[in-house]
Amino acid sequence: MSDEHKKESAAAEKKAPLHGLLAEYETPWQLLEAAKKVRDAKYERWDTFTPFPIHGIERAMGIRMTALPWFVLAAGLTGLTTAILLQWWTNAVDYPWIVSGKPFWSIAANVPIMFELTVLFSGITTLVGMLMLNGLPLPSHPLDLKERFARATNDRFFLLIQASDPKFDEVRTRALLDETRPVVLDEVLEDRVTSDRMPRGIIYAIIVLATAGAIPLALAAKARFTKSRDTRLHIIQDMDAQPKYKAQRQNPVFADLRAHRPDVEGTVAVGELRDDDHFYTGKVNGDYARTFPSQVALTDATMERGRERFGIYCAPCHGLAGDGDGMIAKRAEYLASTGRGRGMGWVPPTNLNQDYLRQQPVGQLFESITNGVRNMPAYGPQISTEDRWAIVMYLRALQHKSAAK
């Protein structure tokens, strides 16, 4: 500070009104005693300043329990509710999407978010509420102008009674503080020196940061309302582009430019020779076979294999007994009954224990599995020929069983 400046501020201070009276003590015990006196004199706008926390100061000052815990409880419950509603709305209402076979809205999956938002809301409320209840941040205070007051961060203990206190009376308050035997009892004047304006540097920094922060938003907005022929930015390649040829693509290596090579004429690939109609198509001389082909062993082992494959491939729709009441069918019925299946086409799976199916030759059942029927897709590519026959065998057993009931 230059001398001129000092004079100026001294002049300004002289004109300033009284902010309060500041008492300075050498020990925390003196401060505690003084605080009790001020408390018992029923002052309201006053405070103490110490270099370290003093146990019991809150009682000596008569500070009541803060209301902050209630704010935090309310915020925590709000966070919990927000998490529940947010996940219910997004997962069950706005964009229902089945993830790993779980219900649209499953509490178990939502608990982590419920926990996080409860903690987040509580934590932020604790911090912001503490700052607000304490009147922080406080950029400047009349005490900042007192040089002696700097010792509040080092080795002295202060007590300030503000002039704005309804009980404040310059003479009587001074007498009260005098009784507590402070080292120094001093007047504090209102601050008429420090500018109220925010420093320019901070204003510029806010403008620059706000502008920079708006750039991504502006880019997102632009992308939302304009069209582009460019491909998307492909930052993480994963294995999206692989140096290989796919079926039906061009390959300049071959004269016919076909990447997909046809079999060499007059040859059959290993395992592709299907010269047994009965076994591979379920037909004998163009009619459906009524017997099992010789390749299928009519044993318990085959039956067990058929039961297993039936459970994997058929039971989800047709049910474990083949009655057409598998889990998928039940779920579809449930959705339809609750009105949630609107807009979803659904043909119920066939009951395999109907008479016309009981009378079908095994060859026809085999063909239905292989090539599919009506809504049911072809299972030939998924299930081996032996296993399809084993399923037919097991299905026949199921049909016999239901007929016997």
Partner 1 sequence: MTSKDKDRTPHSSSASPKGEGSESDVHVLGDEIRPGPAVSSLATKAAGVAVLGLGASVVLGMLENDGFRRFSYAYLTAYMWGLAIGLGALFWVTLQHLVNAKWSIVLRRVGEILAGTAPVLGVLALPIVIPAFLGHDILYPWANHDRVHADHLLHHKAPYLNPTFFLIRFVVYFAFFTLLGRFFLKQSLAQDKSGGVEIAKRMQRVAGPAMILFGLALTFCAIDLLMSLEPSWFSTIFGVYYFASCVLAANSCLALAAMWLHKQGRLTRSITVEHLHDLGKMMFAFTVFWAYIGFSQFMLIWYANVPEETFWYKERFAGDWATVSTALLVLHFVVPFFGMLSRHVKRHKKALAFWAFWSLAVVYLDMYWLVMPAFGAEGLPFGPIEIGALVGIAGAVMAAAAFGARKVKNLIPVKDPRLPASLAFENI
Alpha-helical runs (H) found in 134-189: 170-179
Q: Are 20 and 141 in contact (CB under 8 A)?
A: no
Residue 107-146 contact track with partner 1, rule CB under 8 A, x = bound:
-xx-xx--x-------------------------------
By CB under 8 A, tell whether 55 contacts partner 1: yes
Cβ proximity to partner 1: between 63 and 206 the closer is: 63
Which residues have a Cβ under 8 Å from the Cβ of 83 and sit 6 or more positions away? 110, 113, 114, 116, 117, 118
Under rule CB under 8 A, residue 32 binds partner 1: yes
Nearer to partner 1 by C-beta: 57 or 321? 57
Q: Judge contact between 110 and 87, C-beta under 8 A.
A: yes
- 64 sits near partner 1 (criterion: CB under 8 A): no
CB of 28 to partner 1, least distance (A): 6
CA 60 to chain centre: 46
Q: Which 8-state DSSP code applies to residue 377?
A: P
CB of 168 to partner 1, least distance (A): 23
Taking the complex as a whole, the smallest distance from the CB of residue 356 to partner 1 amounts, in Å, to: 37
* Alpha carbons within 13 A on the beta-carbon side of 54: 21
- Select 73 or 150, whichever has its Cβ closest to partner 1: 73
Confirm or reject binding of residue 29 to partner 1 (CB under 8 A). Answer: yes
State the nearest-atom distance from the C-beta of 390 to partner 1, in Å. 24
Edge-to-edge strand ranges of the sheet holding 157-162: 46-49, 157-162, 18-25, 184-189
> What's the min distance (Å) between Cβ of 160 and partner 1?
21
* 36 vs 151, beta carbon nearer partner 1: 36
Contact pick of 26, 41, 56, 358 for partner 1 (by CB under 8 A) = 56
Site for partner 1 in 95-114 (CB under 8 A): 100-102, 108-109, 111-112
- CA dist 369 and 390 (Å) reads 11
Among 13, 47, 49, 58, binds partner 1 (CB under 8 A): 58
Give me 280's structure tokens. Answer: 């591979």
Distance in Å, CB of 211 to partner 1, minimum: 42
Its sign, for the CA torsion 136, 142, 145, 148, is: negative
Member of 53, 166, 213, 266 binding partner 1 (CB under 8 A): 53
User: Is residue 158 within 8 Å of residue 48, measured between CB atoms?
Assistant: yes
Specify the residue for token string 């290596």.
253
Give the bridge partners for 370, in sequence order.
none
Q: How many residues interact with partner 1 (rule CB under 8 A)?
A: 21
Contacts (Cβ under 8 Å, ≥6 apart) of 279: 293, 294, 295, 296, 385, 389
Going from the C-alpha of 117 to that of each of 111, 123, 275, 336, the distances in angstroms are 10, 10, 66, 35
Minimum distance from CB of 63 to partner 1 (Å)?
11
Calpha distance 320→251 (Å, rounded): 48
Extract the tokens encoding 14. 């002289």
| Site for partner 1 contains 79 (CB under 8 A) | no
| Cβ closest to partner 1, residue 29 vs residue 346 | 29
Task: Tell me the torsion sign for CA atoms 308, 309, 315, 321.
Answer: negative
In the complex, least distance from residue 125 CB atom to partner 1, rounded to whole angstroms: 15
As given in the structure block, the two tokens for residue 9 are: 């501020």
Does 28 bind partner 1 (CB under 8 A)? Our answer is yes
Tokens describing residue 240: 């999206």
The least distance separating partner 1 from the CB of residue 327, rounded to whole angstroms, comes to: 14
Q: Which is nearer to partner 1, 58 or 323 (CB)?
A: 58
In the complex, the smallest distance separating the C-beta of residue 54 from partner 1, rounded to whole angstroms, is 5
Binding mask 289-328 for partner 1 (x = CB under 8 A): ----------------------------------------
83 vs 289, beta carbon nearer partner 1: 83
Query: Does 69 engage in binding with partner 1 (CB under 8 A)?
Result: yes
Footprint of partner 1 (CB under 8 A): 28-29, 32, 36, 53-56, 58-60, 69, 73, 100-102, 108-109, 111-112, 115
